[in-house]
Amino acid sequence: MIMTMLQLETAHLARKMVNANACTQPVTRARYRVPAVKDILQAFPYLPQQTSLLGLGEDGYPVIFDLLDSSPGSLLICGDAGCGKTGLLKTILESAMLLSSPYQLHTVVLSTAPEEWEGLRATYDRRYFEALDSSYSDEAVHWIHQLTIRTEQRRYGRELGTVVLLLIDDLAQVLRMDAEVRQGLAWMLREGAATRIWTVATLNSQHVVEHADWLHAFQTHLLGRIGQAAIGQRVSRSLLLQPANLAARDQFAVRIGGEWKLFWSPAS
């Protein structure tokens, strides 16, 4: 489930917060730059284990999702070039690593620029990383195939095993792979979260029309700024959110319980 700390109703949290003035006031970029992931987790030390941070809401509280609750399904981060999609994807991974042990969490990262992820792999225990590969490579095909098999085994088996995050930075490149790979990916998008194999992908808004059918394959959309109103409405499927009104960088929206929650991703 995607939630905010307010929804968790942890009364003791308010008494234990570190750096309260920085992290609990409503966040606006005119006044304040969102802290780094580690600083947020230090300020909110009672975030549950095996969750992942998305960012800070306008109320200053963390917006998180539970890696053991399948209800959000697969996640798509969509927005214009430069709106902070890759940064949000890194936040999801870094926070998950900080809130889980290497025995609880593994990740496979497929990126058109894998060198941008080397810093995270060098900083954290390498046991978190099953793979960090270029999405142009044969290894990317291999990993999607392997995770498809693993999803199917878990779906019909008794053991769910370690949480796996499949992070795809630039979905459009993966969708250029052959039909068998795309079919396997579609299976994971539909069934993976229930087996604790999560797919989180980014998609540039310029590819929305080309890959419109895939929008519906993702159960949860995290929307950054989309300057073209028609495309923004197509992705949000709502008249209650205008993605063109979001800040040009690092502000996102996610639908929680029928309402749109605005949040800021951490400083990158």
Domain boundaries, the chain: 2-264
Least-confidence region, from 51-65, 81-95, 145-159, 214-228? 145-159
The answer to whether residue 9 scores a pLDDT higher than 60 is: no
pLDDT band at 91 (very low <50, low <70, confident <90, very high): very high
In angstroms, rounded to a whole number, what is the distance separating the alpha carbons of residues 230 and 237?
Answer: 10
- φ, ψ of residue 153 to 5 degrees: the values are -65, -45
What pLDDT, on the 0 to 100 scale, is given for residue 123? 97
pLDDT tops 90 at residue 24? no
d(CA 66, CA 47): 10
pLDDT at 67 over 70: yes
Alpha-carbon span 149 to 83, nearest angstrom: 34
Q: At residue 239, what are phi and psi to the nearest 5 degrees?
A: -90, -5
| Longest alpha-carbon distance in the chain | 54
pLDDT at 168 over 60: yes
Task: Please report the pLDDT score of residue 4 as a whole number.
Answer: 63
Burial label for 246, CB within 10 Å (0-12, 13-18, 19+), is buried
Give the closest residue to 223 by CA, choosing from 214, 233, 213, 209. Answer: 233
Side chain identity at residue 150, one-letter code: R
Burial status of residue 122 (CB atoms within 10 A of its CB: 0-12, 13-18, 19 or more): exposed
Tell me phi and psi for residue 133, to 5 degrees. Answer: -135, 160
pLDDT digits 0-9 by tens, 181-235: 999 999 999 999 999 999 999 999 999 999 999 999 999 999 999 999 999 999 9
Instruction: Give the pLDDT score at 11.
Output: 25
- Higher pLDDT: 20 or 36? It is 36
Residue 10, pLDDT score: 31
Question: Cα angle at 148 between 146 and 150, to 5 degrees?
Answer: 70
- 265: pLDDT strictly greater than 90: yes
Q: What is the pLDDT of residue 22?
A: 31
Task: Report the CATH number of the 2-264 domain.
Answer: 3.40.50.300
> 3-class SS at 54?
strand
For residue 153, pLDDT beyond 80: yes
Containing 198, the helix (H) or strand (E) segment is: strand 197-204
For 196, the token pair is: 């604790």
**What's the mean pLDDT in 133-145?**
96
State the average pLDDT over residues 36-43: 95
Q: Give residue 9's Cα distance to chain centre.
A: 23
Arithmetic mean of pLDDT, 250-265: 93
> Token pair for residue 92?
């999801």
Give dist(CA 64, CA 202) in Å, integer.
Answer: 18
> What is the pLDDT at residue 268?
59
What are the residues facing 3 on neighbouring strands?
A: 64
Residues near 202 by beta carbon (within 8 Å), at least 6 away in sequence: 76, 77, 78, 85, 86, 88, 89, 168, 169, 170, 171
Secondary structure of residue 18 in the 3-state scheme: coil
CA angle, corner 78, sides to 254 and 62, nearest 5? 35
